[in-house]
A and B are shown apart, each in its own frame.
Chain A
Amino acid sequence: MSKKRTWLLPGLLACALLTSACARAYILEDLGMILGVGFDLADDGKLLQTVVMPSLSQGKGPSVIAITSKGDLVKEARENISMSSDRQVVSGQMRTAIFSEKLARHGIWSTLDTLLRDVNITKSLFLCISDGDTREILKRDYPTRPSSGRYLYELFKKEARNYTVPRTTIQKFDRDFHEIGTDPYVPYIRLQGELIAASGTALFRDDKFVGSISPEETKMMLLLRGTGEGGDIKQSLSERTESRIGQPAQMMLTFVRTKHDLQIDQKQGKPLLTYTVEVEGQVIEYTGLAPLSADTLPSISKQLEKGLESRMRDLIDHLQHKYKVDPLGIGTHLRATGRFGKWDRAKWRKLYEEAEIKVNFHMRIVRTGLTR
């Protein structure tokens, strides 16, 4: 390379340094990182936002602080928060977002929109609905975890493994919301005394909250929706069995694995869906007096199947007719068959109401534990 070219690139480099120099820094200790956020509806209809941030008090005092502010828009409320903090408020470490039930009934999409649009917020943000004010939940101190946001995050992760609450990230909500054929659903929490308790699922119709179902019903629902594992299932056997307590015997199964198969037919223009679910599990608790042996197991399995089927029927009835929501994704299944012509929301709702859904269980008890 000859000399006549040596001025060119250094000249460019000099220009590079003269133009706006380095990138804008977000130095770690100058940031107020939002760990969790809660949205409430204020009495005047404005949005009430509570954020939880680490307080860096270095051992003295609480390790997180919670700040609340009001605004029409989420970002406006965020600005108000930032005005009362000496740190730069950023949302890159946000892990949980809670909505109050009151707000959710009016629809949460407008709030979610900003969370989706922001490039800093990760898509594995957990959502949940609380029955009371989110402010109360977030302001509390939890002895086992540094912050309430983290506490919720860990709670959901654990409970989702037991299938008592679903695991809804913002990505999943977005997907179900947009899909014409599924309604989103979100974990539901409740403040019980000093602690937060996960208590089932909140059902949504489009983006509005319509009702909630209990943890047991959540397990049922997730049996049909989930990916092959169910948590622990409690089931009463029929009235004819005896137990120590004087009530019908009850059995708890653990490490449940399911496989489900869906058959879609048409009966007089209405869709007929038949789920065949194969459940296998291990017995962890049994209050009956009759021992579990090879003779009694088949009939016990039959009783379990009947019990599960009736519970499922009730659940589906609630979903279809009482709440009129479709968290099971029936609409998507119907759409996938391609038999119902052009697909839109109205058709989906109509077909869903008319659909007849049957669930057949095949129960298999794999193990009974250490004793019979």
Chain B
Amino acid sequence: MSEGRKPRRRRAQPSRSFQQSERVHFALHSLNTFQVAILITNTQFGVGIFNLPRVVVEAAGHDGWMSVLLAGVIVQVALILMVILLRRFEHLDLYGICRRIFGKWIGNALGLLFALYCVAVAAVVSRTYVEVVQSWLFPTTSTNVFYLLILIPCTYAATGGIRVLGRFGTAILLGTIWIAFLLIVPARDIQLNYYLPLFEAPLLDIAKGSWNVSASVVGFELLLLIYPFIQKKQKTLMAVSSGSWLTITLYLSTVLVAIGFYSTEQLITIMSPTLHMAQIVELPMIERVEHIEIATWSFMIVITVSTYLWAAGRYLHKLTKMKEATGVYCCVPLLLWIGLIPQDMYLLDQFEKLLGTIGSSVSLCFAPLLLVLSLVLRKKGAGSEGFDQPQDKEVNAS
């Protein structure tokens, strides 16, 4: 029998046949097509939709819904360019591509900037959501507590890795799809006259509205980071396009219903028309459905923030040899700090606008820029970057 201490064992290790070479890459192929599409949709859905009708109508009047369509088209173009870039570099993600094009130092510096951007977006999105919660549900309580609270599930999900995030996206979809049906009630009160006359706004205004919308569809640039994990890489474009168009469809229907339900001049005075519309719904057992809607929206926010947080943690994982989960934990203090800076509405608004601009530029321009540079500098292929090591030994991945 054993003498002295028992041998250390953390968890039952499967037997050696489990680690055959053909199994080494299973962690890479963790997301199937559906999960990719849903993940893109979920990351795009943040708090933008609350103010979206007002924002487009401010810019383009009652033709604002066309801005949403235009934004969809722009996003589609950006996605195509992104996929071309990714295909060029085989199985690398953004950090790998930067390193390949620019070499180790500048590539890592660019990666650091992107990681900081991810943390900032995560902070602003969660912070804005918490402001909404605080102003609608808990008017007298300070926002900091809620902010800290929402970071807990975000960290918990982000440390699970991309596999958990992919499944999380699917689960969230099932849990929040009912919110879309809340639009039916205000849709019954639509005045068709509010849409007419069509094409009253000049194209420039519609374009301006599009720019405002693009701050709400930011999120698809994370495709650059989840690319190594996609199972069927040849279906990537279809997946991300469907995800993006799903978002655009939902945005479009919200904006259409809002324009029909509220008169144009009224819409400009309302801060969050989407939430207002949910208030009209009267169910037999519950009075204020928008409270439940806001609470359910936390699911959507958590997955957005978790994915961005995971993206930032992944930079640290690639840079040093720490595990992904450790990388995420290291980013959390920064997330906290950025989120706790704005303490009033106007500072937060400025943050949001700033980050919206940065986000739109990064998501729309960064990938095409890299593509152009890679063509000019004639870099392609994976080079010496190997596959990622599997993080955990899960059979039956997705």
Contact = CB atoms under 8 A, between A and B. Distances in A.
Are A and B in contact, CB atoms below 8 Å, in the complex? yes
Interface residues of B, number: 40
B138 A336 contact: no
Interface string B139-182: 11110110011011001000100000000000000000000000
Contact of B155 (A9, A24, A335): A9
Contacts of B264: 179
B263 A124 contact: no
Nearest to B269: A178
| SS class, residues of chain B in contact with chain A | helix
B193 A23 contact: no
B139 A119 contact: yes
B388 interface: no
Given A178-B269, A179-B266, A338-B196, A24 B138 contact: yes
Interface in A3-31: 5, 8-9, 12-13, 15-16, 19-24
A336 B193 contact: yes
Given A23-B141, A119-B135, A178-B263, A16 B155 contact: no
A175 interface: yes
A192 interface: no
B57 to A, nearest CB: 12
Interface stretch (B78-86, B204-212, B325-333): B325-333
A293 interface: no
Interface string B177-210: 0000000000000011110110010000000000
B355 interface: no
A217 to B, nearest CB: 23
B306 to A, nearest CB: 15
Contact of B200 (A8, A333, A338): A338
Interface in A315-357: 329, 332-333, 335-338
Interface stretch (B46-54, B106-114, B230-238, B275-283): B275-283
A88 to B, nearest CB: 11
Contacts of B142: 19-20
A175 B194 CA distance: 11
Contacts of A5: 325-326, 329
Given A9-B155, A333-B193, A337-B197, A122 B287 contact: yes
A171 B280 contact: yes
Contact of B136 (A119, A171, A329): A119
B315 interface: no
Interface string A157-193: 0000000000000010011111110100000000000
A16 B149 contact: yes
B265 interface: yes
A176 B263 contact: yes
Contact of B196 (A12, A23, A337): A337
B279 A122 contact: yes
A349 to B, nearest CB: 16
B288 interface: yes
Contacts of B144: 19-20
A178 B57 CA distance: 14
A313 interface: no
B193 A329 contact: yes
A12 B194 CA distance: 50
Contact of A20 (B145, B152, B191, B325): B145
A123 B185 CA distance: 13
Contacts of B325: 1, 5
A53 B276 CA distance: 26
Nearest to A16: B148
B265 A12 contact: no
B308 interface: no
B220 interface: no
Contacts of A21: 145
Contacts of A175: 261-263, 266
Interface string B7-18: 000000000000
A333 B193 CA distance: 6
Nearest to B262: A175
B265 to A, nearest CB: 4
6 contacts: A5-B326, A22-B145, A23-B138, A124-B279, A176-B263, A336-B197
Given A12-B148, A23-B145, A178-B263, 7 more contacts: A5-B325, A21-B145, A119-B136, A175-B262, A332-B191, A333-B193, A338-B200
Interface of A: 1, 5, 8-9, 12-13, 15-16, 19-24, 92, 119-120, 122-124, 171, 174-180, 182, 329, 332-333, 335-338
